Chains A and B, each alone.
Chain A
Amino acid sequence: MKPIAYTPAQRRAMDAAQRGRDTCVVAGPGSGKTTVLVEYFMRLVAAGVDPLRILAITFTEKAAGHMREKLGAALREDPAQRARLERAWVSTVHGFCARLVRENAVFAGADPEFRVADERESLRMQQEAMAAAMDALFADRPAGVRALIRGLSSLEFEDAVRSAYDAMRGAGVSVEALARFPAPPGISRGDIARTLDALGRETPSNWSYAQKQHLAAIREGAARVIAADGPRAALQAIEDFPANLQKCKRGTRAYELVGQLREQIQAFRYASITAHHASEREMLIDVVRRFDRLYRERKRQAGALDFADLEEFAVRLLEEHPARRAHLQEQFDYILMDEFQDTNPQQGKLLGLVRRPDRFYAVGDINQSIFGFRHAEPQGFREYRDAVARRGGRLVELIDNFRSRPHILSAVETVVAGAAGVEPRSLVAGRKFEQPRPVSVEAIAAPQPADEASWVARRILDLRQDGGGFDFKDVAVLVRNTEVIPDFTAAFDQAGIPYLVNRGKGFYETREVNDLAHLLAAIANPRDEISLAAVLRSPLAGASDEALLRLKMLADNLGAALWRLGPETATGFDAADYQKLCRFRDRLREWRLRREYVSFDRLLLSAIDDCGYRPESGARVAANIDKFLAQAREASSRGSLDAFVEELALVRGSNPREPDAPPEDSANAVKVMTVHSAKGLEFPVVFVAALHKGVDSKPPVVAFSPRIGLGARWRNPVRREDKDDLFQHLIREERKRLEGEEANRLLYVAMTRAEQHLALSFSLNDKKPANWAELVTESLGLDLEQPRDEVVTRTAPDGKPWNLRLLVADRAADLSTGHPGAASLPVPESPEEVELLAPPEAAGQQEGNATVTALAHFANCPRRYFLGGYLGFEGRARGGEESAGDGELSASEFGTQVHALLAGAAVAQPDPEAVRLAETFRQSPLGRRLARASRVEREFDFLMAVDDLVVGGQVDLWFEEGGELVIVDYKTDSVNAAEAHRRALEYAWQLRLYALAVERVVGRAPDRAWLHFLRPNTAIAVDVAPSLLESPAELVRDFAGAQSKLAFPLNEGERCRRCEFFHGLCPSAFGQPRAPALTEPVE
Chain B
Amino acid sequence: MRLLTGPAGSGKTALVLQQFREALRANNDAIRLLVPTATLAQHLQNQIAREGFVFRRSLVQTLSGFVESFAGDMPEAPGAVLYLLVERAARRIARPEFARVADMPGFCASLARTIEEFSAAGCDSARLAGCLPDTPLGAAFLAGYQELDRELDRRGLAMRGKRLERAAERIEKEGLGNIRTIWLDGFYSLPDPELRVIGALGRHAELTLTLTDTDFTAAARARLQAMGFGEERAARSRPAPAIELVRAPGVEREAEEIARRILAHAAGRPFREIGIVVRSPETYVPVLRSTLERFAIPARFHFASRLEEHAAVRFLSGAVDALLGGWDHAATLAVLRLAPRFADANVMDRFDHAVREQIPNAGLGALKALAGAGGERLLQTIDALAALEEWRSFTLAPKDWAARLQTLRNLFRPARPGDSMDYELASVWRSQAAALAQFDEALDEAATALDAGRPAALDEFWRAVKAVLRLKEFRLADGRRNVVHVLRASEARQWVLPVIFVCGMTEKQFPRFHHQDPFFPDGERCRLNAAGVRVRTAADFERDERALFDCALTRATMVATLSYPEFDARGERNLPSLFLEGLAVEQQESRAVAPRPREEPGPPRAVAIHAPGLLVALGEKTAQLTPTALEAYLQCPFKFFGQRTLRLRPPPPRPEKRLDFLTQGIIVHDVLAAWYAEKQDVTPLFEAEFARRLEEKRIPWRYHTERLHNAMLEDLRAFTESDEWPRAEFQSRMEEKFSLPLDGSLTINGKIDRLDTARDGRAYVIDYKYSNAQTTRGKRDDDNLLQAPLYLMAAEQVFGVRPAGMFYVGLKGGVQYVGWSATPLLKSYPLPENWLELARERTLRLVAEIRAGRVEPSPANPDHCRYCEYRDVCRVEARGVAVVTEGA
Contact = CB atoms under 8 A, between A and B. Distances in A.
B271 to A, nearest CB: 7
The 8 A-B pairs with the shortest beta carbon distances in the complex, nearest first, are A506-B882, A113-B106, A662-B571, A612-B597, A872-B433, A847-B479, A596-B311, A839-B296
Interface residues of A, number: 191
B177 interface: no
Interface stretch (A18-26, A536-544, A799-807, A924-932): A536-544
A609 B516 contact: no
A1067 interface: yes
Interface stretch (A343-351, A382-390, A828-836): A828-836
Interface in B259-282: 259-260, 263, 266-267, 270-271
Given A139-B702, A605-B290, 16 more contacts: A82-B578, A372-B887, A505-B881, A511-B875, A525-B349, A529-B649, A539-B601, A546-B614, A552-B645, A602-B294, A845-B298, A872-B430, A877-B410, A944-B49, A1000-B52, A1078-B415
A549 B651 CA distance: 19
Interface in A70-93: 72, 76, 82-83, 85-87
Given A300-B104, A612-B597, A1080-B418, A545 B605 contact: yes
B877 A505 contact: yes
26 contacts: A65-B572, A72-B578, A105-B107, A113-B105, A149-B707, A505-B877, A509-B882, A527-B651, A542-B601, A553-B617, A557-B649, A599-B290, A602-B290, A696-B885, A720-B814, A837-B594, A843-B482, A844-B481, A845-B423, A849-B46, A870-B426, A881-B404, A945-B50, A1064-B416, A1079-B417, A1081-B345
B457 to A, nearest CB: 17
Contacts of B798: none
Interface in B284-312: 286-287, 289-290, 293-298, 306, 309, 311
Nearest to B706: A138
Contacts of B747: none
Interface string B542-575: 1000100000000000000000000101111111
Contacts of B263: 837, 840
A726 to B, nearest CB: 25
Given A83-B542, A506-B882, A842-B271, A1078 B416 contact: yes
A533 B648 contact: yes
Contact of B873 (A480, A537, A633): A537
Contact of A109 (B101, B400, B432): B101
Contact of B424 (A559, A598, A833): A598
A893 to B, nearest CB: 15
A165 B190 CA distance: 53
A25 B872 CA distance: 52
A131 B423 CA distance: 45
A514 interface: yes
Interface stretch (B333-341, B671-679, B768-776): B333-341
A170 interface: no
A663 to B, nearest CB: 9
Contact of A486 (B345, B433, B573, B880): B880
Interface in B629-666: 641-642, 645-651, 656
Contact of A145 (B343, B597, B706): B706
A482 B885 contact: yes
Contacts of A583: 599
B334 A942 contact: no
A146 B706 contact: yes
A849 B479 contact: yes
B566 to A, nearest CB: 9
Contact of A544 (B400, B571, B572, B605): B605
A742 B344 contact: no
A611 interface: yes
Given A544-B605, A599-B289, A103 B873 contact: no
Interface stretch (B55-63, B207-215, B685-693, B757-765): B55-63
A1065 B417 contact: yes
Nearest to B480: A845
A506 B414 CA distance: 42
B742 interface: no
Contacts of B100: 106, 109
A479 B290 CA distance: 40
Contacts of A548: 646
A659 B107 CA distance: 35
Contact of A941 (B50, B58, B521): B58
A965 to B, nearest CB: 14
Interface string A107-142: 101111110001000000000000100110111001
A843 B107 CA distance: 48
Nearest to B295: A837
Interface in A941-996: 941-945, 948, 950, 952
Interface stretch (B10-18, B75-83, B245-253, B788-796): B245-253
Given A509-B878, A545-B608, A583-B599, A86 B513 contact: yes
Contacts of B872: 514, 518, 530-531, 534
B56 A942 contact: yes
B428 to A, nearest CB: 4
Interface in B420-457: 421-426, 428-434, 436-437
A642 interface: yes
Contact of B349 (A527, A613, A676): A527
Q: Which of B417, B578, B855, B879 lies at the interface centre, i.e. has the most chain A CB atoms within 10 A of its CB?
A: B417
A300 B513 CA distance: 25
B641 A545 contact: yes
Contacts of A920: none
Given A111-B107, A836-B595, A873-B433, A602 B293 contact: yes
Interface residues of B, number: 181
A912 to B, nearest CB: 24
B296 A69 contact: no
Contacts of A209: none
A1082 B594 contact: no
B607 interface: yes
Interface string B845-877: 000000000010000000000000110110101
Nearest to B511: A86
Nearest to B402: A883
B613 interface: yes
Contact of A611 (B53, B423, B578, B601): B601
Given A508-B882, A837-B595, A837-B596, A945 B888 contact: no
B240 interface: no
A155 B605 contact: no
Contacts of A881: 400, 403-404, 407
Contact of A549 (B481, B645, B707): B645
B467 interface: no
A626 B513 contact: no
Nearest to A626: B252
B507 interface: yes
A593 B106 contact: no
Contacts of B338: 596, 640
Contacts of B513: 86-87
A204 interface: no
A135 B592 contact: no
Contact of A113 (B110, B289, B886): B110
A106 B137 contact: yes
Given A528-B651, A849-B46, A134 B57 contact: no
Nearest to A599: B286
A944 B888 contact: no
Contact of A633 (B98, B250, B287): B287
A437 interface: no
Interface string B462-485: 000000000000000001111100
Interface string B514-542: 01101101000000000000000010001
B132 to A, nearest CB: 16
Given A664-B249, A1046-B422, A1082-B344, A835 B287 contact: no
A537 B874 CA distance: 8
A710 B585 CA distance: 60
